[in-house]
Amino acid sequence: MKSYLAAAIQMTSLPDLRHNLSQAEELIDLAVRRGVELVGLPENFAFLGNESAKIQQAAEIAAESEKFLKTVAQRYQIVILGGGFPAPVKDGKVYNTALLIGADGKELARYEKVHLFDVELPDGNIYQESTMIVAGEKKAPVYASEQFGNLGLSVCYDVRFPELYRAMTQSGANVLFVPAAFTAFTGKDHWQVLLQARAIENTSYVIAPAQTGQHNSRRQSHGHAMIVDPWGVVLADAGTEPGMAIATIEPRRLEQVRRQMPSLNHRVF
């Protein structure tokens, strides 16, 4: 594992596939110009704001998302995570799929989100992902990269389930992806503290791309894409506008924290 720059991209995706992919490439281009080699795009990067339209267009969104990720990975010679797009399964439902692509344009890892956001929030918004999304049945993957570390994949609501991240850490993960479209209501109280908790308890880097702003009249995301170090220090925060959080992933820092706080070696259960 080497020292390298990573970017957690922050977008305001809309129910417009072409617009969103264009916005994503602009931000990727800016990141690469700053020396970034590992890029994460948020959940629903390709389409957000109209769930029924997303399901109706799922086949096109999935095909175009995969094509886009493979194309930009090769064009910019980066490793890229597409943090979540709908991939058709059956009976009009989809997987919420995160896809990791190498600089040669080949698929490195794929993850179907296992925890579905079925929640009625105090602000009156109701989310029922299970009406349209099928929960994944495979454990979150860890892709071992000689250059970038052992990359663990998750999506948004997963961040509330620490056992998923501990399982990845036990499989060797030391860089954890948490791409999200966190709601504005829950994000203000829970987003940062959950990311810091996952980083601290697993003594791992956390790269958290995010959605931000207004996607339609009812859907608003919290923003604050972040990169957090293994001690829980927020290295970069993208705020509330489209952009990115960029920070150095440093193997010496990882080794230092795991040496000074060897909690992973003290597990009892």
- Strand ranges (E), 76-172: 79-88, 94-101, 107-112, 118-120, 126-128, 142-145, 149-152
**CA 226-222-136 angle, 5° bins:** 80
Give SS3 for 108: strand
**CA-to-CA distance for 57 and 53, rounded, in angstroms?**
6
Given 37, 54, 112, 113, which residue is catalytic? 113
Among candidate residues 109, 101, 151, the one with its CA nearest the CA of residue 254: 151
Given 37, 43, 51, 129, which residue is catalytic? 43
Given 37, 54, 112, 156, which residue is catalytic? 156
Q: Are 148 and 4 in contact (CB under 8 A)?
A: yes
Q: Are 8 and 236 in contact (CB under 8 A)?
A: yes
Q: Are 10 and 245 in contact (CB under 8 A)?
A: yes
**CA-to-CA distance for 190 and 188, rounded, in angstroms?**
6
- The amino acid present at 32, given as its one-letter code, is V
- Tokens 């993208």 locate to 238
156 is catalytic: yes
Instruction: Classify residue 120 as exposed, middle or buried by CB count within 10 Å of its CB (0-12, 13-18, 19+).
Output: exposed
Residue 61 tokens, joined = 């969104």
**The 3-state secondary structure of 229-241, one letter per residue:** CCCCCEEEECCCC
Sheet with 149-152: list strands edge to edge: 142-145, 149-152, 175-177, 205-208, 226-228, 234-237
Enzyme catalytic residues: 43, 113, 156
